[in-house]
Amino acid sequence: MTDDEEYVRNAIKTHVWSGFHDQADTEQMMEEILEGEVDPEEMRRFIVSEFAAKVAAEKSWPAETDCDRLDQVFTALDAAGICSLQNAGYTMSDGHSDIGEKLDERGMKNFHGYCFYHGQDLERAVNGEGLMLAFGDLKADPANKTKVGHEICAIVEKAGFKTDWNGDPETRITIPKLDWKRRNPR
């Protein structure tokens, strides 16, 4: 297998097992990253086989997965006035842009803080490396940002996850142990 083929296969695996994308989304992503001497038809077959493997694996998953509980965390964050977004873009900059759009849509008066993770964080989570959460307050005040961080940790921990955060408002919160099992949209 060439390095280019390995790169595309790994990207496909992450896309499929993230649980956020269907087969058409994954094929579109694959077409966008194809490079070198990679056979698109072979990669399409690989996409089909990865989705089949994931559907088979899902049958053995518990009724409630860590990802289901993570969804509940993000719902609780929104309810607590912390605008939250999962899989927000691919980078920190993308995440800030996406959270800004959500705040514009939902009205900033409804929130005092924000929380998100982006695509690179998602890749690490799918690979079993935990999940990092970016956060902030809407007034850009370090003391308020620290309070938002503590609120997020409390909500995450109430859902049964452990958090790792040193209390520094410039350090992201980590959920070090997360068994990434998100069912794909049907």
State residue 63's pLDDT score.
Answer: 95
pLDDT band at 186 (very low <50, low <70, confident <90, very high): low
State residue 107's pLDDT score.
Answer: 86
Percent of the chain with pLDDT over 70: 99
pLDDT (average), residues 56-64? 96
> pLDDT per residue over 19-47, tens digit each?
999 999 999 999 999 887 889 999 999 99
List own/partner pairs for 156-165 with CB under 8 A and 24 or more apart: 156/73, 158/76, 159/69, 159/70, 159/72, 159/73, 159/76, 160/69, 161/66, 161/69, 161/70, 161/73, 164/130
Domain ranges of the chain: 3-58, 66-175
Mean pLDDT of all residues in the chain? 94
State residue 1's pLDDT score.
Answer: 81
Does the pLDDT at position 159 exceed 80? yes
In this prediction the pTM is 0.93
> pLDDT per residue over 95-138, tens digit each?
999 999 999 999 888 899 999 999 999 999 999 999 999 999 99
Tokens of 84: 């939250």
Higher pLDDT, 184 or 168: 168
Strands (E), the chain: 82-85, 113-116, 131-137, 173-175
Does the pLDDT at position 185 exceed 90? no
State residue 148's pLDDT score.
Answer: 97
State residue 20's pLDDT score.
Answer: 94
Determine whether 52 is exposed, middle or buried from the number of CB atoms within 10 Å of its CB (0-12, 13-18, 19+): exposed
For residues 121 and 125, give the distance between their C-alpha atoms in angstroms, rounded to a whole number: 6
